[in-house]
Amino acid sequence: MRVVHGAIGVLGELLVTLGVVLLLFVGWQLWWTDVVSDADAAQVVATIEQQLDEPGSDFIQPGKAKLGDAYAIVRIPRFGARYARPLYQGTTRDVLQRGIGHYVGTAMPGEIGNFAMAGHRTTYGKPFNGVAELHDGDVVLVETKDSYFVYRVTGHQIVPPTQVSVLLPVPDQPGAEPTAATLTMTSCHPEYSARERFIVHATLDATYPRAGGVPPEVLEVKS
């Protein structure tokens, strides 16, 4: 009898321990990954800004970026005046845990063709948490060594994870020759799921030299 009691006691303690570990995992995934990634992203953005402001800066040109290099800052006024995330070359898991990733092989910022990027909608700093709140005409600002590229949102769609045609030079039109510089953002949908993808499309509206800054009206959010 005492042995059985002891075994049940140990089993109970193991189950309670397992429950606590599972709760810790949820806390880690939903909270701690944001803490770590936000701090990392803020530091990377600050470093990039500092390097860009140096006279005669040799900060990396977008076309020279290798996998995992941060080469631009993405600002989305709709997500808040202080919203700034590093843009990395590549969309590997490691890259996306640190910020926004640029799909290798798609156009570079400002180029004719489709500049495509991916970001987490939940967890790991959730840079694309607000994608569903983006309105048509909202600004996505990409700051590189020499330029500010102002893209404006033109629409969104929800697609299966396998629909790679959203990344084509002219999204969803295989074989078409691009004549415009477009931007495509991919994130997961619904939130906390990976069943589908939330896709935002935008078009290049203006380009400004970095030295002169952007006109303040670009950063205004229309309600």
Residues 6+ apart with CB under 8 A from 72: 48, 62, 86, 87, 109, 142, 143, 144
We find the least distance from the C-beta atom of residue 146 to other proteins, in angstroms, to be 28
Report how far residue 206's alpha carbon sits from residue 175's, in angstroms, rounded to the nearest whole number.
Answer: 26
Subset of residues 154 to 213 that bind other proteins, contact rule: CB under 8 A: 159, 161-164, 166-167, 186-188, 192-194, 197, 199
- Terminal Cα distance for the chain, rounded: 71
- Binding test (CB under 8 A) with other proteins, winner from 59, 79, 115, 128: 128
What is the closest distance, in whole angstroms, from the C-beta atom of residue 34 to other proteins in the complex? 13
Check if 188 is active-site.
yes
Residue 118 binds to other proteins (criterion: CB under 8 A):
yes
CA 143 – CA 12 distance, rounded (Å) = 56
Q: In whole angstroms, how close is the CB of 133 to other proteins at the nearest point?
A: 17
Among positions 5-34, residues that touch other proteins (CB under 8 A) are 9-10, 13-14, 21, 24-25, 28-29, 32-33
Give the Cα separation of 149 and 147 in Å (integer). 6
Comparison of 24 and 176: residue with beta carbon closer to other proteins: 24
- Residue 8's SS3 state is helix
Q: Does 106 bind other proteins (CB under 8 A)?
A: no
By the 8 A CB rule, do 62 and 144 touch? yes
The answer for residues whose C-beta is within 8 angstroms of residue 108's C-beta and 6 or more apart is: 62, 63, 102, 115
Q: Catalytic: 135?
A: no
Q: Which residues bind other proteins (CB under 8 A)?
A: 9-10, 13-14, 21, 24-25, 28-29, 32-33, 91, 93, 96, 101, 103, 118-124, 128, 159, 161-164, 166-167, 186-188, 192-194, 197, 199
| Residues labelled as active-site residues | 120, 188, 197
